[in-house]
Structure 1
Amino acid sequence: MSIPQLPLALRHSPDQRLETYVNAPDGAIAQLRSLASSDEETAGYRDPSGADWVYLAGPAGVGKTHLLLAACAQADIAGRRAAYVPLSAAVGRLREALQSLDTNNDLLALDGIEAIAGRREDEIALFDTHNRARQAGIAVIYASRENPDELKLTLPDLRSRLSQCTRIVLTPLDDDGRAQVLRQRAQRRGLALEEAALEWMLKRMDRDLGGLTQLLDKLDRASLAAQRRITVPFLKRTIDDET
């Protein structure tokens, strides 16, 4: 089984950067940047307990995948090799999926631990990968919707290893935070997004950040095609045209 390859546009998207994440917990971005950028000389001296590795926890839509991809991009900038693995794509075949990743990379970003919880063979495969990566001085960042003690794991040793990681708890953004994200993304695209249109989106549309950013992408394409600013009337017309 081969790991699904990320499109270059996704892996290296300017939206997926550590510095573009909004309202991160204090120290979180610096810690992820340090872990992703560590050189080979320091990699072998990491805390043997795994306490310097990172475990991102939080519900859907808080930006866990954003931070994992951003860490991979940071590693790439530092000249290091990184692999992003969505575990949901490897359920039931995780050992095969992870084979060789912990020897061919400097950073592993493992997304969606909850997907393999309760699947003993997958849990053992992840446990073995964790131990091999630790011995090789490879950095690992985990992400899950649940804290380690909340995961329905059958392997106590895996829970113990995950619990030793530094935990970063992510929380959903409020409307001010969502607005900041959308403004930043619009600015990076050179997109003329009027404040009234932004307020309308936040009040009238699904407030899930993923859905809002997808809508912004659609508006970007429509605005480019029409050579128009994104006003409330243009926003409404674009939405109506797609329904």
Structure 2
Amino acid sequence: MPEQLKFNLPVRSATGREDFFVVDANALAVAEIDRWPDWPVRKLALVGPEGSGKSHLAHVWATEAGARIVSARDLAQQVPEPGNLAVEDVPQIAGDAQAETALFHWHNLVLAEGGSLLLTGDTSPALWQIALPDLASRILGTPSVRLEPPDDQLLQAVLLKLFADRQIEPQPSLLPWLLRRMDRSFAAAGRIVAALDAHALGTGRPIGPKLAAEVLERLDESDRQA
């Protein structure tokens, strides 16, 4: 038999509204995004753990609001402009005077010109440890909404999306098998799907429970050695 052909296809992350799965764990956050024209102070902090869908939901909002999306770390390299704006991963600039000053100017300009502002982070804005007092006070005055940890329904939907982003159709028995054994987090789902994809490409084997058992064992061993 000739060796099976292996194609390392690009990951194409689906970020449209139709690709965002609404369940109890995220329904409140989705409702707040949907009502963005009525935000009381025209700004919102969207918070949640790694991989919880913050970036996806920010892209949904940006499409609906005609907004720009910028990483907080990149703001200092750009000239502030009016208009709706989403700033991702704000806690990552804590203590960076240049980046904090840039966000302060963007914040003031966007709101002064009648725009709306969406900020994202892993934790409550009160824990972002922003050093610039004027910016810290403005962030503390920003209403927030949280994406909650996933239930089984949402975690299964996230796994399906992660596989679809990699153009992978797993064996039907894989998802219930994984849900019984994996860590209950979005970060774990992303790590497992990436490892399954890499191992399947390297071995030419189908992505099912047998392959997943090997991958989970390898990931556990890596965690023990870390």
Q: Same fold (TM over 0.5)?
A: yes
Deviation of 1:165 after TM superposition, in Å, equals 2.6
> What are the residue-to-residue correspondences of 1:213-224 with 2, within 5 Å?
213=190, 215-216=192-193, 222=200
The aligned amino acid for 2:33 is: L
Deviation of 1:86 after TM superposition, in Å, equals 2.1
2:31 alignment counterpart: 30
2:169 to 169, 180, 191: 191
Name structure 1 gaps, 5 residues minimum: 1-8, 39-45
2:69 to 84, 87, 102: 84
Task: Tell me if structure 1 keeps the 8 A contact 2:47–2:54.
Answer: yes
When residues 124 and 55 of structure 1 are mapped into structure 2, their CA distance, relative to the original with a 3 A threshold, is same
User: Are residue 133 (structure 1) and residue 118 (structure 2) matched?
Assistant: no
When residues 231 and 116 of structure 1 are mapped into structure 2, their CA distance, relative to the original with a 3 A threshold, is closer
2:54 alignment counterpart: 64
Q: Tell me the distance in 2 between the aligned counterparts of 1:208 and 1:25.
A: 14
Could you list the per-position Cα deviations for residues 83-141 of structure 1 after superposition, in whole angstroms to 9, with x for gaps in the alignment? 22222x44xxx43x2414x23xx432111111122233332221111010011222211
Corresponding residue SS for 1:56: strand
The aligned amino acid for 2:79 is: Q
User: Are residue 173 (structure 1) and residue 146 (structure 2) matched?
Assistant: no
2:79 alignment counterpart: 99
Deviation of 1:162 after TM superposition, in Å, equals 1.8
Report % sequence identity. Answer: 26
The aligned amino acid for 2:84 is: L
Could you list the per-position Cα deviations for residues 54-88 of structure 1 after superposition, in whole angstroms to 9, with x for gaps in the alignment? 1012332322222223323x23xx7x3x322222x
1:42 alignment counterpart: none
Corresponding residue SS for 1:29: helix
1:17 alignment counterpart: 16
Query: TM-score, normalised on structure 1?
Result: 0.65
Task: Tell me if structure 2 keeps the 8 A contact 1:57–1:143.
Answer: yes
Deviation of 1:182 after TM superposition, in Å, equals 2.0
The aligned amino acid for 2:29 is: A
2:124 alignment counterpart: 147
Query: TM-score, normalised on structure 2?
Result: 0.69
Q: Tell me the distance in 1 between the aligned counterparts of 2:197 and 2:85.
A: 33
The aligned amino acid for 2:53 is: G
1:55 to 40, 45, 48: 45
Name structure 2 gaps, 5 residues minimum: 1-9
Q: Tell me the distance in 1 between the aligned counterparts of 2:129 and 2:217.
A: 43
When residues 121 and 231 of structure 1 are mapped into structure 2, their CA distance, relative to the original with a 3 A threshold, is closer
Task: Tell me if structure 2 keeps the 8 A contact 1:118–1:154.
Answer: yes
Corresponding residue SS for 2:169: coil
Q: Tell me the distance in 2 between the aligned counterparts of 1:237 and 1:148.
A: 39
Q: Tell me the distance in 2 between the aligned counterparts of 1:234 and 1:119.
A: 44
